[in-house]
Amino acid sequence: MTAPAEGTPDDEADRERRAAGPFDAAARAAVYRAIESRRDVRNEFLPDPVSDEILARLLKAAHCAPSVGLSQPWSFILVRSAEKRAEVAGIVARRNEEAANMFDGERAAQYRRLKLEGIEAAPLNICVVADRSRGGPVVLGRTHQDDVDLYSTVCAVQNFWLAARAEGIGVGWVSIFEPDDLKPAFGLPEHVCVVAYLCVGHVERLHVRPELEARRWGERLPLADVVFDERWGAGAEMFNR
């Protein structure tokens, strides 16, 4: 194989590499703490606004997410007005009633007891969308899996969420709506898809465990139940040693 000529893109990329060693113990602990203590906030938001300085850091973290073919399909619509938040809350309230009717008996009653007022309680909402045309008609890495642009946008949401935890900012992900419900509210063209609707704001406390686990809606599965060796259903040997 012929080595790349001096000054080629490959040579330039090689010069930009850095050591890939582990973080020190304190930095590693901080990363894992953010992951393990991140929570979905429903209605515990304080009215205090999120400063532009903090918001810029959170959005920068989101914008550092990996994306297929470096297409960076995400965009973030900042929603601060009470009128727009009330409009979205009305859409979600209608869909929430539909959702409640999908459960039976005590499960339906339990569902209705969950508090979902974060849209209007949080001083900031963010509609996270994916521009499915970004990157052009053929995107490296998306040639055979068309939805990986949506997965890339979800990675941006997760980056935002973890950075928010590190900043002491609460985030709630609202998903009780059809994606097209919000297109008229935000003037979205056909090729732009709603991926996430986030409620963002300061909070005083977070649940120690996920709220749905604390309320006994469900429980976290043991890690050993979801890790397999070589094929589906084959329990991983690492948990049997």
Q: What is the dihedral of CA 122, 124, 129, 135, to 10 degrees?
A: -150
Q: Is residue 127 part of a domain?
A: yes
pLDDT of residue 9: 67
CATH code, domain carrying 194: 3.40.109.10
pLDDT of residue 87: 96
Regions of the chain short of the pLDDT cut 50:
1
Q: How far is CA 171 from the centre of its chain?
A: 9
Task: Tally Cβ neighbours within 10 Å of residue 43.
Answer: 15
DSSP string, 93-149: HHHHHHHHTTS-HHHHHHHHHS--THHHHSSEEEEEEEETTTT-SS-TT-SS-TTHH
pLDDT of residue 15: 76
Find tokens 């604390």 and name the residue: 214
Q: Is residue 105 part of a domain?
A: yes
| Enclosing domain of residue 52 | 41-207
pLDDT of residue 73: 98
Q: Is residue 18 part of a domain?
A: no
pLDDT of residue 141: 92
pLDDT of residue 7: 63
Q: Is residue 27 part of a domain?
A: no
- Residue-wise pLDDT for 141-175, tens only, equals 999 999 999 999 999 999 999 999 999 999 999 99
pLDDT of residue 3: 53
Q: Is residue 70 part of a domain?
A: yes
Q: Is residue 234 part of a domain?
A: no
pLDDT of residue 184: 96
SS3 227: coil
Q: How far is CA 34 from the centre of its chain?
A: 14
Overall number of domains in the chain: 1
Q: Is residue 15 part of a domain?
A: no
